[in-house]
């Protein structure tokens, strides 16, 4: 109002659809914190349309991440289409519908959704509405484009387990600790000529949760060997932290035999330099 401008607004809808994915990354059920209930949406959209400083654009939804089944998408799209038709029936303007993302990828043995079938769901349910359609398939596009390159720093033989201790930790790749997520781990040299051993693959952080894999068979590895933790292009570096005063790793962009450091390696001094000592200490 102070700037005499209209703010474009889209309402995020919670369609109450079970995405059939990990509980920590489902976002479209009533018990999740996201979005507004569908039965409230028409009233709120009408409010936006009548407000002098709000410009209605449409609706958005996102029911979860790493979905491998298409049935939840169908349910959510049908609900969004019904809502849009009700809005149009009231004579209200609807420009866009953001149907979110969530398309799964293969980390272990998952089968990603068929894109043609997914596109058919969009064509049959959303396209007839004649709005702009926004999609957000982030993980599907970038997950397989990234790996975490790490070095073995120690092989510890416990009473009942062998621990392969890496120089990467949960602060570098949070997903296994946070979601019990699987990431394929392989020696950089392939290790085809070595016997197979079973390891718990862990990092050096002072947390038992600093574990990348449990009971994972790998070619025998020794200190100094390099390993690649695969499918780290989504929710990898963006979730990294300085926990345990661990500097962030470098990010390297690779294209064939070309490479470039696109984010330099952080040093401990970089972390400490960000700390400000108050005058009164």
By annotation, the residues acting in catalysis are 206
Residue with tokens 């862990």: 202
- Closest to 213 in 3D by CA, of 250, 162, 247: 162
Which three-class secondary structure string do you get for the chain?
CCCCCCEEEEEEEECCCCCCCCHHHECCCCCCCCCEEHHHHHHHHHHHHHCCCEEEEEEECCCECCECCCHHHHHHHHHHHHHHHHHHHCCCCCCEEECCCCECCCCCCCCCCCHHHHHHHHHHHCHHHCCEEECCCHHHHHHHHCCEEEEEEEEEECCCCEEEEECCCCCCCCHHHHHCCCCCEEECCCCCCCCEEEEEEECCCCCCCCEEEEEEEEECCCCCCEEEECCCCCCCHHHCCCHHHCCCCCEEEEECCEEEEEECCCCHHHHHHCCCCCCCC
Residues 200/161, Cβ–Cβ less than 8 Å: yes
CA distance 280 to 197: 56
């Amino acid at each position: 109002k102070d700037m005499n401008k209209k703010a474009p607004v889209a309402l995020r809808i919670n369609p109450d659809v079970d995405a059939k994915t990990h509980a920590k990354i489902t976002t479209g059920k009533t018990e999740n914190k996201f979005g507004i209930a569908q039965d409230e949406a028409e009233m709120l959209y009408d409010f936006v349309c009548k407000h002098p400083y709000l410009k209605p654009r449409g609706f958005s939804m996102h029911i979860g991440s790493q979905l491998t089944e298409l049935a939840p998408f169908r349910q959510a799209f049908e609900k969004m289409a019904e809502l849009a038709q009700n809005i149009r029936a009231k004579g209200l303007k609807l420009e866009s519908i953001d149907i979110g993302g969530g398309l799964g990828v293969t980390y272990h043995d998952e089968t990603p959704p068929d894109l043609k079938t997914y596109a058919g769901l969009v064509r049959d349910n959303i396209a007839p509405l004649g709005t702009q359609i926004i999609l957000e398939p982030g993980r599907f596009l970038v997950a397989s484009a990234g790996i975490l390159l790490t070095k073995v720093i120690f092989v510890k033989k416990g009473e009942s387990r062998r621990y392969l201790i890496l120089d990467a930790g949960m602060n570098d790749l949070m997903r296994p600790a946070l979601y019990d997520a699987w990431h394929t781990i392989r020696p950089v040299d392939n290790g085809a000529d070595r016997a197979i051993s079973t390891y718990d693959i862990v990092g050096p952080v002072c947390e038992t949760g600093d574990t990348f894999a449990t009971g994972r068979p790998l070619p025998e590895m020794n200190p100094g060997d390099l390993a690649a933790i695969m499918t780290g292009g989504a929710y990898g570096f963006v979730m990294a932290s300085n926990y345990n005063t661990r500097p962030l790793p470098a990010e390297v962009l690779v294209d064939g035999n070309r490479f470039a450091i696109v984010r330099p390696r952080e040093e401990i001094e970089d972390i400490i330099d960000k700390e400000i000592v108050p005058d009164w200490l």
